[in-house]
Amino acid sequence: MDYLDGVIVLLVVLGLVGIGIYAIMVSRNLIKIIIGMQVMVKGVLLAFVLAGRVSGNMGLGQSLALTVIVVDTIVAVVALALAVRVRRRFGTLDPRALTTLRR
Amino acid sequence: MVNGWLLLPIGVPWLGCLAVWLVGDRKPRLQHTLAVIFSVLAGATGLALIPWSSQRATLLLPLGGVFDDFRLATDGLSVFLTVVATVIGSLAVIFSVDYMHGEHSLGRYYAFVLFFIGSMSGLVLTTSLLWMFVFWELTALCSYALIAFHNDDPKAVRGGVKALIMTQLGGLGLLFGALWLYAYTGSYDINQFLGNPNVVPPAVLSWMAFGFLIAAAAKSAQFPFQTWLPDAMEAPTPVSALIHAATMVNAGVYLLARFYPAFEAVPGWRLAVMIVGMLSALLAALMALVAFDLKRVLAYSTVSQLGFMVYAVGAGGVFASQFHLMSHSVFKALLFLGAGAVIHGLGTRDMRQMGGLRQSMPFTHAVFMLGALALAGIPILNGFWSKELILEAGLGHGNPAWIAWLMILSTGLTAAYTVRMVSLVFYGNGSKHHHEAHDAGMAMRTALLPLAAGTLSTWLLLGPFYTALKSSLPYHTLELGTVWEEVVKVAGSPEWGMTLGVGMEILREPSTYLVLCVVIVGLVAWLGRSRLASLIATFKGVEKAAQASFGFEAINEAVVQAVQKTGEALRVTQTGYLAWNVFAILLGWLVVLILTMLGRAS
Amino acid sequence: MDANMAVIGLLALPLVGAPLTYLADRLVLRRGGKPRLGQWITLVILLLSLYILAIFWRSETRREGVWLLVGSISLHWDGLSVLLAFTTLLLGSVVTLFSGTYLAGEKAHDKYFPLLLLMIGAIIGLGASNDLFNLWLWFELMAVSTYLLVAFYPQEKGSLEAGVKYLVQSAVGSVLILLAIALTYTFAGTLQLDGIRARFSDLSAPLWVAGCLFIIGFGVKAALVPLHTWLPDAHAQAPSGISAMLSGVVIEAGLVAMLRALTALGAAETHWGILLMGFGALNMLFGNLMALRQHQIKRLLAFSSVAQVGYMLAGIGVGLAYQQPIALAGGMFHLFTHALMKGLAFLAVGALLYALVISHHQHTPLTVEDVCGAAQRYPLASLTLAIALLGLGGLPPLAGFMSKWQILVGGFSAQTNASVALMIFAGLNSVLSLGYYAPIVNRLYRHQASEAVLKGNPLPLVMILPLLIVALGILVLGFVPSLMNPINDWAASSILGFGIR
C-alpha cells in the first residue's frame, strides 16, 4: 500500500466519524442518532484496519476491529432498548423532548 | 508515648462531648450534670499545667509523610491560654445550666461547647503548623455550629455561615503559610522556624507574614474582616462570652504574638499590624457608641479591644498584648455573662427597652459595673494596668506617634461607650415590664463571682506571668526587660516584686495620667452630652457611617450577591439539549488540540 | 496464595460472580420468593475480594508489581491498580449492604446486583490492563453496565432521559478513544503501555493528537468541564447506591484510564500535566458555582463531584507537570477520600430519600427544603450526611481536609508560580464550596420539621449501618491520614515510574 492509499483511507475514516457526529448533533430522531453512532464506529473500524496495515500486523488490526464490532453491537442494543422505552414513555423519539433535566 | 498527659486538656472535654451527645436529649438533667463535670475536669487539667508554664514538656506522635508529626508542647504562652480556655469554658458551661434551661437540642449545644474547649486547648498547645491549622478550623467549626444553634432563625444561620466563610477565607493565609514552611523545610515545627526564620527566602517569609496577618485579622474580627463578629451575636450568650469574647477570637492575637520573632524584621509588617489594630480599635469603638443592641455593643467593644492587642503586637509589646488578652478575657466574659443574665431576665437585647435595672437586678448590676469599669480602664481593675502597658509600648520603641495618639483617642471612646451602655441598661427610668425581671440564678452567680474576683485581681499575676513567658519563650524579646529586672533585684522576690515594680513604673509614667485624663473626658463627654449638642451634631455624619458599619457590610453583601448571580447565570450552560452536549465535547477537543499544538510549537 | 494468584482471583471473582448472582435471584424468583439472595452473594464476593487484596498486600513480592500474561493479553498490577481496586471494593461492599432494602419495591431488582458486580469487575480489570486496547475494553464494559444502572427506573422519564444522554455522550467519547488507539498503534507499532513509553523520548505530531483524543475521550467519563453535561443528570437520576458508585469510583476510573493512556505518551508528561491543571481549575470553579444554586440535593452533590474532580486533576496535573510525587499521591488520596465522602453523602441522602419518598412508592426528587429538620427523626442519617458534607467542604478533622492538604503541599513543594497560584485558587474554591454545604447542614438541624419529614417512614438498621461504617472511616482518616500513605505513595510512584521493570 503506498502513501496515497493511506491518505485516502484516512480521509474516509475522518469523513465517516464526522458524518456520525454531525448526525448525532442535528438528528431529530433517536434512531437516527443511534445510526450516527454506528457510522462513527464504522469509521473507527477502518482506522484499525489501516493501522494494522501500516504497522505490518494485519491480523491484529482485524482482530481489534472484530472486538470493536462486538462491543459496539452491545452498546447499540442497549441504546435501542432505551429508545423503545423513550418512545413508550415520552410518546416521541425527538431528542428535543428529552430536556426535562436542565439547569 | 512520653508525656501523654499533655493530651488531657484536649481529651477530657472531647470525651465529655461524646458522653453528652450519647446521653441524648431525653435526659436534660443528666446532660447538664455531665457537661458541668467534664468542663470542670477540663478546667482542672488546664490548671494542672501551670507548673509547666516555665519549662517545656513535649509530646510527639509521628504520622509520617506530608503529615509530619503531631506535636504538643508547653510554654508560658500556651499554658496561659489553655488555662483561659478551660477555666472560662467551665464557667460558661456552669452559667449555661441556668441560661439554657428548658432549651431543645441540649446535647448538640453542650457537645459543641465541650468540643470547642478541647479544640482551643489544642490550638494553643500544638507546635505543628498543620495541627495548629486543624485546631484553628475546628474552633471555627464549633463557632459556626453554635452561632447557628437556633437553626430555624434565618438570621442565626446567616450569621453562622458568614462567620464560617469569613474566618475560613482568612484562614487560608495561615494555610498557605504552613504550606510554604513545609515546602522549604519539610517540617511543620514552629519552634524550629522561630529559631531560624531564614530557612525560607525573604520573599516567601514576607508572604507568610502577611498571610498570617490576614488569618489573624479574620479570626480576631479585625479590620477589614470585622463584620462577622456582630452578626455572630445570634449565638446563645454563654457561647458569645466563651468563644466570641474570651477565647477563640484571641487566637488571632496569639498567632501574631507567637510568630512575632520570625516576622518582626519583615519590612512593613509591623506597621501593617499596627494600622490594622488601630483601625479596628477606632472604628469599632465608634460603632459601639451608636449601637442599641446590648450584645452588639459588647461585640464591637471586643473588636475594639482586640484591636488594642493587635496594635500592641505590632508596636513590639508582645507581653503587653498577652497581658491585656488575659485581662480582657476575664472582664469581657464577665460583661457578656452579665449581659446574658440581663437578657435572660428580660427577654430582650434592645438597650432602649432596658433601664433602671439597678433595683431589680442588684447582683448583676454589681458585677457588671466591675467589668465595665475594667473595660473603661479605671484603676485599679485589671483592664487599667494592661491597657497602660499597651499604650506605653506604643509610645516607646520609635513607633509612629500618630497611631499612638489615635489609640489614646480610642481609650476615650471606650470610656464613653461603656458609660453609655451602663447608664442605658441599669440607670435612668425603667420601662414597665421590669418588675418581672428576675436577678441571676444560682448557677449564673457561681459563674459570675469568680470572674468578678478575677477582674479585681488578675493584674497581680503580672510578675509571675512575665517570668513564665520570659523563661519559656527563647526567641521572644519581651519589652522593658532591663528596667523591671532592676526593680526585681531591689524587691528581692522575683515574681511578686515585679508586679510591684511594674505597677510603680506605670504609676510613674506621665502617659498614664494623660490616658486617665482622656478616659475621664470620655466619661464626662457622655454624661454631659446634652451640653455638647452642637459638637455632637457635627459628628452626625460619622454616626450614620458608624451605624452602617462604615460600608463594610455593603461590600460583603455585594460580593455574596455577585457570586450568587454568577452561579445563577451559569446555569444556562446546562441546556439539557443532547446536541449542545455533544457539541461541547467537540469544542473541548478542538481547544485542547489547539493548546497542545501551541504548546508543542513553543 | 502468592501475589500472582491473588491478582488472578481478584480479576476473576466479580466477573464470575455476576452471572451467578443473577441465576440465584432468578431461581428464587421463579419459586415465588423475594430476590434477596443476590445481595448476599454479591456481598460475600466483594468481601472475599477484599480479603484477597489483603493477602496480596501482605505478600512479599508485591513491591515490584505483578506482571501477568493471560493468553496474549498482558496485565500489570501496581500501586494504581491496588488503589482503584481497594476503593471500588470498599465502596461496592457498602453500597451492596445499603441497596437491598432501597430497591425492595423495584421490578428490576434482580438485575441490579449482577450489573453492580460486572461494573466492579470491569473497574478492577481497568486498573490492571497494560495494553491500550485492553484498557478500552474494560472501560467499555464498565460503561455498558452503568448505562443500564443509570436508566434503572424504566417508568421514570428522568431516568430514561439521563440514560440516553449518558449513553450517547459516552459513545462519542469512546469513539475518540478508539481513534486515539488506532493513531497510537499506527505510529508506535505496539499497544503495550510500557512498550510505547519506552519507545519515545519525543513525540511525533500524530501522537500529540492522540494524546488530546485520550484526554477528551476519557475526559467525558471523568467529567472534565465542558464535557461534564451528562453527569448531573445521570448521578441525580440513578438509584442512590449507583449514584454513590458513579460519583465515588466510575468518574475516577475514567481519570485512572486517562492517566494510564497519558503515561504511555509520557514523553510529553509536562504538557499533559499543565493541561490537566487547567481543567482542574475550570472544574473547581464551574462545579462549585453551579452547585451553589441547586435545589435538588442529589443534583447539587453531582455538581460538587465535578468540583471535586477538579482537586484530583490539580494534584495529578501538578504531579505530572513538575514530577511531584507528593501532589500525585495527594490526588490519589483525594480520589480515595472523595469516594468515601461522596459515597456517604449519596447513601445518606438515599436513606433520607428512601424514608421520605421511595417508601411511599414515589420517585420525586429530594429538595433542600424537604430535609429540613430531618435530624429529629433520622439522627444518624443526618449526622452522617453532615459529616460527609463538611468533609467534602474540606473541614478538619475529616478525611477530605487531609487529602486536600496533601494536594496543596504538593503544589507548594513544586515551588513554581503556576502550581502555587493553582493551589491558592483551590483553597479559595474550597471556601466557596462551604457556601452550599453549610446551609444544608443547618437545614438538617432545624426544629421545624418539613412536611415530608413528618410523613416519613422509619429507617431500617441495615441502611444505617453502612452509613456509620463509612462515617467512621472518614473520621479515622481525618485524624490518622497516614494510614493511606503506603497505598497513595505506591500509586504515585507507579504513575511516575511507569513501565520500569
User: 3-state class of C180 per DSSP?
Assistant: helix
Chain B contact present for A84, CB below 8 A: no
Task: Assess whether pLDDT exceeds 80 at residue B497.
Answer: no
- Share of residues in chain C with pLDDT > 70 (%): 99
The one-character DSSP state at B350 is: B
Residue B213 corresponds to which amino acid? L
In whole angstroms, what is the distance from residue C466 CA to residue C462 CA?
A: 7
Residue A67: φ, ψ to 5°: -60, -40
Both ends of chain A: CA-CA distance in Å?
A: 52
Reported for B483-492, long-range contacts at CB under 8 A and 24+ positions apart, including other chains, are none
Q: Grid coordinates in use for B33? A: 450534670
Q: What pLDDT, on a 0 to 100 scale, did the predictor assign at position C419?
A: 93
Highest mean pLDDT among B128-137, B393-402, B524-533 belongs to: B128-137
Q: Grid coordinates in use for B9? A: 486538656
Q: Which residues of C touch B571 (CB under 8 A)?
A: 290, 293
Residue in A closest to C184 by C-alpha: A51
Q: Are B178 and B133 in contact (CB under 8 A)?
A: yes
Least confident of B417-426, B504-513, C336-345, C374-383: B504-513
- Residue C216 CB contacts under 8 Å (≥ 6 apart), including other chains: B585, B588, B589, B592, C173, C176, C224, C227
Q: Are C131 and C172 in contact (CB under 8 A)?
A: no
Residue C60: φ, ψ to 5°: -70, -35
The one-character DSSP state at C246 is: I
Q: What pLDDT, on a 0 to 100 scale, did the predictor assign at position B532?
A: 65
What DSSP element (H or E) covers B71?
Answer: strand B69-73
Contact state of C443 with B183 under an 8 Å Cβ cutoff: no
- Mean pLDDT value of segment B519-543: 71
Beta bridge partners of residue C367, listed in sequence order? C296
Highest mean pLDDT among A19-28, B64-73, B219-228, B448-457 belongs to: A19-28
Nearest to C197 by CA among C269, C149, C147: C269
How far are the Cα atoms of A50, B135, B146, C296, C318 from residue B151, in angstroms, in the given order? 66, 24, 10, 20, 41
In whole angstroms, what is the distance from residue B1 CA to residue C293 CA?
A: 49
Q: What pLDDT, on a 0 to 100 scale, did the predictor assign at position C194?
A: 85
Q: What pLDDT, on a 0 to 100 scale, did the predictor assign at position B52?
A: 83
Task: Assess whether pLDDT exceeds 70 at residue B501.
Answer: no
pLDDT tens for each residue of B217-243: 999 999 888 889 988 998 898 999 898
Highest mean pLDDT among B313-317, B435-439, C72-76 belongs to: B313-317
C interface residues, A as partner, C-beta within 8 Å: 133, 137, 140, 143-144, 147-148, 151, 154-155, 157-158, 160-165, 167-168, 171-172, 174-175, 178-179, 182-183, 185-186, 189, 232-233, 236-237
Q: What pLDDT, on a 0 to 100 scale, did the predictor assign at position B3?
A: 79
Predicted ipTM of the assembly: 0.96
Which residue of B572, B578, B586 is in closest CB contact with A95? B578
Q: What pLDDT, on a 0 to 100 scale, did the predictor assign at position B380?
A: 77
Least confident of A53-57, B286-290, C50-54, C58-62: C58-62
User: 3-state class of C296 per DSSP?
Assistant: strand
Nearest to B294 by CA among B220, B233, B383: B233
- Residue C58 CB contacts under 8 Å (≥ 6 apart), including other chains: none
User: 3-state class of C74 per DSSP?
Assistant: strand
Q: What pLDDT, on a 0 to 100 scale, did the predictor assign at position C431?
A: 92
pLDDT tens for each residue of B328-353: 999 999 999 999 888 888 888 888 88
Residue B407 corresponds to which amino acid? M
Which residue of C326, C415, C480 is in closest CB contact with B66? C326
Residue in A closest to B574 by C-alpha: A103
In angstroms and rounded to an integer, the radius of gyration of the C-alpha atoms of chain B is 25
Residue C142 corresponds to which amino acid? M
Start-end of H helices in C151-250: 157-188, 193-199, 205-222, 230-237, 240-245
Q: Grid coordinates in use for B522? A: 470620655
- Per-residue pLDDT band for C501 (boundaries 50, 70, 90) equals very low
Residue C77 corresponds to which amino acid? W
Relative to beta strand B58-62, strand C73-77 is unpaired
Q: What pLDDT, on a 0 to 100 scale, did the predictor assign at position B487?
A: 54
HSE-CB for B262 with a 13 A CA cutoff: 29
Q: Are C481 and C382 in contact (CB under 8 A)?
A: no
Which of A9, A29, A62, A82 is most worth mutating to test chain C (most C CB atoms within 10 A of its CB)?
A: A82
Q: What pLDDT, on a 0 to 100 scale, did the predictor assign at position C252?
A: 94
Contact state of A103 with B583 under an 8 Å Cβ cutoff: no
DSSP B440-464: --HHHHHHHHHHHHHHHHGGGGHHH
Burial class for B48, CB neighbours closer than 10 Å (0-12, 13-18, 19+) = middle
Which of B571, B574, B575, B577 is most worth mutating to test chain A (most A CB atoms within 10 A of its CB)?
A: B577
Q: Are B326 and B455 in contact (CB under 8 A)?
A: no
pLDDT tens for each residue of C144-184: 999 999 998 888 889 999 999 999 999 999 999 999 999 99
How far are the Cα atoms of B224, C290, C481 from residue B562, in angstroms, in the given order? 19, 14, 37
Residue C456: φ, ψ to 5°: -70, 155
Helices B294-314, B382-395: axis angle to 10 degrees equals: 40
**Taking every pair of C-alpha atoms in chain C, what is the biggest distance, in angstroms?**
67
Q: What pLDDT, on a 0 to 100 scale, did the predictor assign at position B316?
A: 85
Q: Which residues of A touch C175 (CB under 8 A)?
A: 17, 20, 37, 40-41, 43-44
pLDDT tens for each residue of C204-218: 888 999 999 999 999
Task: Assess whether pLDDT exceeds 70 at residue B10.
Answer: yes
- Per-residue pLDDT band for B362 (boundaries 50, 70, 90) equals confident
Q: What pLDDT, on a 0 to 100 scale, did the predictor assign at position B504?
A: 67
What DSSP element (H or E) covers C479?
Answer: helix C461-479
Q: Which residues of B touch A95 (CB under 8 A)?
A: 577-579
- Residue B356 CB contacts under 8 Å (≥ 6 apart), including other chains: B426, B427, B428, B429, B430, B431, B434
Task: Assess whether pLDDT exceeds 60 at residue B483.
Answer: no
Helices C251-264, C132-150: axis angle to 10 degrees equals: 170
Which residue of C147, C167, C182 is in closest CB contact with A47? C182
Q: Are B122 and B131 in contact (CB under 8 A)?
A: yes
- Mean pLDDT value of segment A9-13: 92
Residue B73: φ, ψ to 5°: -155, 150
Which residue of C229, C423, C480 is in closest CB contact with B584? C229
Beta bridge partners of residue C129, listed in sequence order? C75
Contact state of A103 with B571 under an 8 Å Cβ cutoff: yes
Q: Answer with the residue of higher pLDDT: B436 or B454.
A: B454
Q: What pLDDT, on a 0 to 100 scale, did the predictor assign at position B482?
A: 47
- Mean pLDDT value of segment C46-61: 88
Q: Grid coordinates in use for B283? A: 472604628
Task: Assess whether pLDDT exceeds 70 at residue C227.
Answer: yes
Q: What pLDDT, on a 0 to 100 scale, did the predictor assign at position A3?
A: 80
How far are the Cα atoms of A21, C59, C120, C138, C256 from residue C66, in angstroms, in the given order? 40, 11, 20, 19, 18
- Share of residues in chain B with pLDDT > 70 (%): 91
pLDDT tens for each residue of B571-584: 888 888 989 999 99
Q: Are B252 and B213 in contact (CB under 8 A)?
A: no
Q: Domains in chain A, start-ordered, CATH in brackets?
A: 3-96 (1.10.287.3510)
DSSP C349-403: HHHHHHHHTGGGT--PPPBTTTTTTHHHH-HHHHHHHHHHHHHHTT-TTSHHHHH
Task: Assess whether pLDDT exceeds 70 at residue B431.
Answer: no
Q: Grid coordinates in use for B57? A: 514538656
pLDDT tens for each residue of C262-307: 988 888 888 999 999 999 999 999 999 999 999 999 999 999 999 9
Going through C32-149 in order, the beta strands assigned E by DSSP cover 66-70, 73-77
Q: Grid coordinates in use for C98? A: 445499603
In whole angstroms, what is the distance from residue C416 CA to residue C323 CA?
A: 12
pLDDT tens for each residue of C95-144: 999 998 888 877 778 889 999 999 999 999 999 998 899 999 999 999 99
Q: Are C89 and C46 in contact (CB under 8 A)?
A: yes
Nearest to B576 by CA among C226, C303, C229: C229
Contact state of B584 with C219 under an 8 Å Cβ cutoff: no
- Per-residue pLDDT band for C90 (boundaries 50, 70, 90) equals very high
DSSP B115-131: HHHHHHHHHHHB-BHHH
Length of chain A: 103
Q: What pLDDT, on a 0 to 100 scale, did the predictor assign at position C182?
A: 93
In whole angstroms, what is the distance from residue B504 CA to residue C305 CA?
A: 64
Contact state of C185 with A55 under an 8 Å Cβ cutoff: yes
